Amino acid sequence: MVLIDVKKYEDTAMRSTAMHGINTISTVKIALFLVAVPLLLFLSLLLGPTRVMLPDLDTPVGKAIMALRFNRLVMGMLVGSALSVSGAVFQAILRNPLAEPYVLGVSGGAGLGATVAILFGAVAAMPLSLPVIAFIAALATLFLVYGIASKGSGGVPSVYSLILSGVIVSAVCSSLIMFFVSMAGVEGLHNVIWWMLGNLQPPPANHRFIAALFIAFGIGGAWMLAPKLNALTLGREMAHYQGINADMVIMSGLFCATLTAATAVSIAGMIGFVGLIVPHVTRAIFGPDHKFLIPLSAVTGGTFLTVCDAFARTVLAPIEVPVGVVTALAGGPFFLLILRRKMKRAWIG
């Protein structure tokens, strides 16, 4: 009888949490969101090195400039949505507000895999190898970080042990990347260094198409897991009482999040903190229900990164600042702010 009462109580708690996420999304917020996103994307197309306006589309040069801006907008939407959804899923699974691909070392692992693929000619021989190798390296890095953090903690790592383990593994990956870079030729050195800083220069069309398929698959899989992620954020016991196989949800979620993050890194390089900032802001505005949080984070993340890229290419024109530098400058203080709050919310372990 006691177990039945507990189950009823927890069912009520879960329904209350989900309804809170739904009720938070008011018509006004949705309307403002639908207006703001197209305006910001259009503004990013207008921003040029010297003035805010569209290029002359009647000239070949104007058409080329517009095509480049549009391709960078597409890249921003792809990469930003991938990193944001990855961060949202990591935060739900690990019940940790600081979880995101860059902090957990996933981006570093994907970067190491991509560096090896670029410098050793795998990409030239087979374009599909870049996201595949980056994904395998990122997945291995994630499990390494989680395994190190779980030592001596009964299999449930703390917030700080995850952060520390992620920083250590990221440092090792960065050291290996620099080792390979130091052994590379001039052309390989230039390609990898610029890629490590993070940029939205569009790769060949076949690379973008493959990356878009991988990212769409990962985001779609994460969205299908949304009801289970809602239960998982309240703890494994809640998920168990809902008849959910928590281990299967965790493995599936980690697969989707790592796939999207690794694919984003493979085409845009090391762009940090998008997966930290965007899910938090989206959750604060629209609520915690992952049925809405995941697609809204995807759109918000893509828009955020596109605007950051427009700012990066104009703030010091004609010099272009890597977009990864801009997101790091924005994400560093945000990371410290969350850390200072000491993670006192109920869903954070």
Q: Mind listing the pLDDT tens digit for each residue in 51-79?
A: 667 777 778 888 888 888 899 999 999 99
Please write the tens of the pLDDT for every residue from 123-181.
777 877 878 888 899 889 988 988 888 886 666 666 678 778 888 998 999 899 889 88
Packing angle of the helix pair 290-314, 2-24 (nearest 10 deg) = 40
Cα 328 from Cα 75, distance rounded (Å): 18
Q: What is the pLDDT of residue 278?
A: 92
Nearest to 268 by CA among 345, 223, 326: 326
- For residues 112-116, give the mean pLDDT: 88
Which range is most confident: 48-62, 256-270, 325-339? 256-270
- For 98-107, the pLDDT digits (tens) are 788 887 888 8
pLDDT, tens only, 6-42: 444 344 444 444 444 444 467 888 889 999 999 999 9
Alpha-carbon distance of 331 to 339, in angstroms, equals 12
Checking if the pLDDT of 88 tops 50, the result is: yes
Q: What is the pLDDT of residue 257?
A: 92
Query: Where does the pLDDT of residue 270 fall: very low under 50, low under 70, confident under 90, or very high at 90 and above?
Result: confident
Which sign, positive or negative, has the C-alpha torsion 81, 86, 89, 92?
A: negative
Q: Which of 114-118, 195-199, 259-263 has the highest mean pLDDT?
A: 259-263
Span 174-230, pLDDT tens digits: 899 889 888 877 766 777 777 778 888 888 888 888 889 999 999 999 999 999 999
User: How much of the chain, in percent, has pLDDT values that exceed 90?
Assistant: 27
Cα 60 to chain centroid distance, Å, stands at 36
Percent above pLDDT 70 for the chain: 85
Instruction: Please tell me the CATH superfamily of domain 77-340, with its number.
Output: ABC transporter involved in vitamin B12 uptake, BtuC (1.10.3470.10)
Vertex 292 angle, CA 291 and 297, to 5°: 120
Give the pLDDT confidence score for residue 341 in this predicted structure.
Answer: 67
Name every residue whose Cβ is closer than 8 Å to that of residue 198 and which is 6 or more positions away in sequence. 268, 269, 270, 271, 272, 322, 323, 324, 325, 327
Domain ranges in the chain are 77-340
Q: Name the average pLDDT for the chain.
A: 82
> In the predicted model, what is the mean pLDDT of residues 302-313?
92
* Global confidence as pTM: 0.83
Q: pLDDT-based confidence at 248, cuts 50/70/90?
A: confident
Region 327-340: mean pLDDT is 79
pLDDT, residue 89, reads: 94
Q: How confident is the model at residue 325 (pLDDT cuts 50, 70, 90)?
A: confident
Give every CB contact of residue 344 below 8 A, 6+ residues apart in sequence. Answer: none
Rounded to an integer, the average pLDDT of 101-117 is 87
